[in-house]
Amino acid sequence: VEVMNEIALLRESIASIKHRSETIGFVPTMGALHDGHLSLVDYSSSQCDKTVVSIFVNPTQFSPNEDLAKYPRTLQQDIEKLRHHSVDVVFVPDATEIYPPGFSTMVSPPTVARCLEGEHRSEHFQGVTTVVLKLFNLVQPDIAYFGQKDYQQTIVVLQMAVDLDVNVDVRMCPIIREPSGLAMSSRNRYLDGDQRQRADALYKTLALADNLITDGQRDGRVVMAEMNQSLIDLGVDSIDYAVVADPNSLTLMDTITLPAVLLIAAHVGTTRLIDNRIVS
Ligand code: PAF
């Protein structure tokens, strides 16, 4: 695996891959890699000739009150993990490589970015779409792999790619979970023992809501009220949202039609967790 920090070196590598007419799979990450990321790497290496992973804690997608400074940075362990998978290039730029002095152009994200995460994390998706578009331009992947865990992010990136004629096949891959059901996340390492147990509330609540809908409940307000109650009963400290939404537009469903997506964002201690489930 080649590890590189500079855009100029990345461009050389990409040019030589393209010269050999090999396909490129791309997994953008912010590091602190876990089995969820590694599953994306495995999808890429099984479907593409070459796999490029980026590790970049993107400052523009964090609001001033968020965890940018304390976001886990575990570069050596990350590279060690990637060595056990089929990865060809790891791109690890620093912030000035991506945002040099004078940088001032930002992507205006699509409408689907305004609700849910967009309401609670202003500027977040502007930062995500900007960095993802830059990375797409640099890596020029045939296929880019995103996790369903960040469901809205994947929908936002898909829409951006369509709207801006980005010639990349954006794929959403399944959530990887701990044995308890907790969705794997770099932020799980912030949880202590008690909080980790309470964090299972998200998965359990998604399962409960799925059961309600599968048993015939079609009133979205009833399901959303049950989700909120369940999260509180199971010990989360606060809830940003717990909703049933259309899987493409993410508009809330008063009357549930299938497929639907259940989405939750909640806080356990000072850690903000998200999870989701498609009901089809
Ligand atoms: O999902 C993430 O880790 C980030 O939002 C991404 C896509 C790497 C952009 O910084």
Cα 128 to averaged position of ligand 1 atoms, centre (Å): 6
The confidence band for 1, taking pLDDT boundaries of 50, 70 and 90, is very high
Query: Distance between CA 35 and CA 78 in Å, rounded?
Result: 11
pTM equals 0.98
Query: Is the C-beta atom of 132 inside 6 A of ligand 1?
Result: yes
pLDDT of residue 228: 98
Cα torsion at 114, 120, 126, 128 (round to 10°)? Answer: -110
70-99 average pLDDT score: 97
pLDDT of residue 226: 98
Buried b (16+ CB within 10 A) or exposed e, 216-252: eebebeebbebbbebbbebebeebbbbbbbebeebeb
Q: Whose CA is nearest to atom 8 of ligand 1?
A: 29
Cα 41 to averaged position of ligand 1 atoms, centre (Å): 14
**Mutation to probe ligand 1, out of 38, 54, 61, 107 (largest number of atoms < 8 A from CB):** 61
Return the DSSP state at 175. Answer: P
pLDDT in tens, 171-214: 999 999 999 999 999 999 999 999 999 999 999 999 999 999 99
pLDDT in tens, 93-146: 999 999 999 999 999 999 999 999 999 998 999 999 999 999 999 999 999 999
pLDDT of residue 233: 98
Mean pLDDT, all residues of the chain: 98
Q: Whose CA is nearest to atom 2 of ligand 1?
A: 29
Q: Whose CA is nearest to atom 6 of ligand 1?
A: 29
